[in-house]
Amino acid sequence: MASPFPERGLARRRQIWQRPLTLALTGIALCGCSFDLGSLMPEKDKPQEAPKAAAPAESAVSAGNVTEAQAHTAKAQSLAKSGETAAALDEFNRAVGLDPYNAQALYGRALIYQGNNQHDFAIADFSAASGLNPQKVEPLLGRAISYLALGKVKEATADLDEASEADPHNAQVWTTRGQAYERLGDKAKAAASYTRAVSLRPRDDAARSGLARVGG
């Protein structure tokens, strides 16, 4: 079964202006997020509805494919944690090819694409993972960071608004939301977000410096 997303070999290199804020945001994503996301595992025996853009050619995925995909996902997570991202990407590709509804594989692959500045591919995978698990913070945050890297700040703030409602105690979401609204020029919302981040994580240097910049 073919993967619903283009393979790495077909990627068009996008030239991106690497602003300091964008680099900082990408660092937040890669350092703050785990490739092993048990919260994104679908419930046993519960059919999952994939977003239309991620739907495979055949609606059903065999139990054998699901099991094999989980094995490839576990191997990919281990490789990614060891810094072997190229090998991890190959394993995530195999997992998604076998089971396009594997949210863990989609999310893990998205993080690698993001680290490689392949943000269009990252957004596609974050979107698929989010569609399979609505209201999960990790894919929303990841997609927002890639949107920011592409200069799509309004799209990023929409994701961050949703993420902050889904998990209002996530300091990382509030810090990133502050950075997004700061780029939009909305100092009031930026300050409110940075303030919330500092209240949750007092030693958050990014939030503290952001708060100082916007006059909070």
**Each residue's pLDDT tens digit, 90-130:** 999 999 999 999 999 999 999 999 999 999 999 999 999 99
Return mean pLDDT, the chain.
81
Distance (Å, whole) CA 195 – CA 207: 7
Task: Check: CB of residue 137 under 8 Å from CB of residue 167.
Answer: yes
How far apart CA 58 and CA 99 sit, in angstroms, is: 11
Does residue 206 have a pLDDT over 80?
yes
CB 148 within 8 A of CB 180: yes
Helix, strand, coil percent values for the chain (each to nearest 5)? 70, 0, 30
Has residue 65 got a pLDDT over 60? yes
Query: How large a percentage of the chain has pLDDT more than 70?
Result: 72
Per-residue pLDDT averaged across 44-69, rounded? Answer: 61
pTM comes to: 0.76
In this prediction, residue 35 carries a pLDDT of: 58
pLDDT at residue number 13: 31
The four Cα atoms 183, 187, 190, 194 give a dihedral, to 10 degrees, of 120
The mean pLDDT value for 69-85 works out to 96
User: Rounded to whole angstroms, how far apart are CA atoms 85 and 164?
Assistant: 29
Q: What is the pLDDT of residue 33?
A: 52
Among candidate residues 82, 150, 78, the one with its CA nearest the CA of residue 113? 150
Residue 75 contacts residue 91 (beta carbons within 8 Å): yes
Interval 149-202: pLDDT, tens = 999 999 999 999 999 999 999 999 999 999 999 999 999 999 999 999 999 999
